[in-house]
Structure 1
Amino acid sequence: MSAQQQLITVDDISEENAPAIYVLGGLKPFLEHTRSQVCGEVPDLTTRKGRERIASLAAEVSRSKKAVENPGRDYLRRLKEMPKVVETELREFVTEMDKLRDEVRKPLNDWQAAEDARVDRHNSAIAHLKLNAQDLDGITAEDLADRIAKVEAAPLGQQWEEFEAEAARAKDDSLKVLRTALAARQQYEAEQAELARLRREAEERAEQDRIRVAQEAAVELERQRVAQEQQAAREAAARREQELIDQAAAQEREAENQRLQLKLQAEQAERARIQAEADRVATEQRMEQERQVAARRQEEAAEQARQDERRRADAAAAEILHQQEARERDEAHRRSINRSALEAFIAGGMPEACAKQAVTLIAQRKIPNITIAY
């Protein structure tokens, strides 16, 4: 660098000294001077001051570039006879200065990219923790228990760096929501199982009652049938005995008219046979009617027992459903009021996580003298 160039800085470039500067190789001293100024330092990227210093050095390179480029381009427009030389020199100078600026700024850019990736990684992991406590409608108790185990297994520690407290809150909040949902689901499934058991027991009792009534009716019918047969046999024997007595008396009284008596006896015997046959048919018809009446009464009693048991089971199921619906309405009502309180806290400037914690503590009556009116 000549003595004149040594005395000229980027701030001293003017129209008068431009012919001595914007020549082939004339801008290299400025490039080397700028490089020596910015490359001699090694700022500490672990400190904010160091990172700001790198940004400042890169900005100084850009300023020096503009301080040389702008006068040069003005000079170039005036020197129509040397456009190619000046343009080439300026292009190379600008390219090298841009490269130098990018080279100087690269550690800061690399650090910022790594920092952004690290923050995104922690935020993604926290969002994944929270995701386990969302969309819980219709999930079985077994699935909820799996989610709880997964969240409980999530490690906490120094690997979270400055996000450890937020990760701990996300884990704790997710576990509270999941455990509450698990308790509610277990209660619901237990109620459903109990309802099914009551229905099975009701059906079994109804079937047992039907069998018992049928057996009792069959026994009673058989008893009546045997009694009727015995009564018919006694009546037939009595009639036969009476006929023999009448026949003997008639023979004694009318011995002289034996032929007529024999004829009369034959007629009486025929009438007795017809009567006995009529009595037998009537007895069988009466027994059949009584059997049908008993069977009909048996069926009516069994049907009445089934209807009574069904009404008792339906009433028990309706009561369980009514209690369950009342609990669900109460829970929905409480969630709506809690959600309104949460939105009010957030609208008042409180962070969402803090607002959720505040609503939860108040709802659990852990804050003295403060309650939520449901």
Structure 2
Amino acid sequence: MSELSVIEISEEQAPALYRANGLDSFLEQIRKQVNEVPDLTTAKGRARIASLSAQVSRSKTAIEKPGRDYLRRLKESVKPAEAEIKRFVDACDALRDEVRRPLTEWEAEQERLKAEEAMNAMHTEAVEMNEKFDQECAAKFEADHELALLMNKDFDRDAAEAKAEAERKKIEYEEELKRLPAAAALRDAEERARREREEAAHRESVLKAQAEQAERDRIEAEERSAREKKEAAEKAEHEKQEAIEAERRRNEEAEAARQQEAKRVADEDALRAADIEHRRAINASAVSALIDQGIPTDWAKACVIAIARGKVPATEIKY
């Protein structure tokens, strides 16, 4: 399989290979050389599978690349022919248009004349139609005018008859009123009484509804007031407990701070006392050592004090 990855295909071989089914021999050779089944359960087998796959890719590239180069050369080789064909076609099209231009212009002029003739014909037809319409309107106006005159005569007669009939009915109505004044008064009284009863019932209904609404409002107000009082009391109690708790926390924090400060002071005092005692012991030991060397006690103490205070150069006491 490795020899396929370095195979070289010359330009002369390309036309014979890169055609229909021209690469079948290479494809068959690749299939044969990877026709094995490595053991997938072992590392060696898995590595072999990866190697076979990579060999196929290398073989593919070795054969594909010359083919792509061959195609590129083919495309480049036809470009001059394409350019020449395009130049020839463009020149022929221009020559064709130039030869036909007189005919094209004549045809355009004929179309313009036809359009102008059609427009003139339409204009003439429109003028004739307008004249005919005006004549018809004039004739209809005359006929309608005569009909209106006849209808006006009938209308005047009908109006006079209607007026007379209305006057007659008015007289009859007035006479009827004169004959029945008591009955009319009774009907009016009954109507007024009925309206008053209805109005009283309506007022009573309104007052009842208002009273019921007022009672509902009162109950709701009492419940709302009780609820608000309860909520206010609960809120006050809650705030009181929070204040007590906050005060307790403040007291605890203050006490803790006081105790911490007292402990710090005590610790510092103890450290100072221990340091003083330590220094005193060291100094006493130094005094004793000087006395042992025959130095008088007062002088020994004075020497140690001077050294401790840094009065003696190049000399110190290590505590």
Kindly name which structure, 1 or 2, has the bigger radius of gyration based on alpha carbons. Answer: 2
TM-score, normalised by the number of residues in structure 1:
0.32
TM-score, normalised by the number of residues in structure 2:
0.37
**Greater relative CO (CA pairs within 8 A, separation 6+):** 1
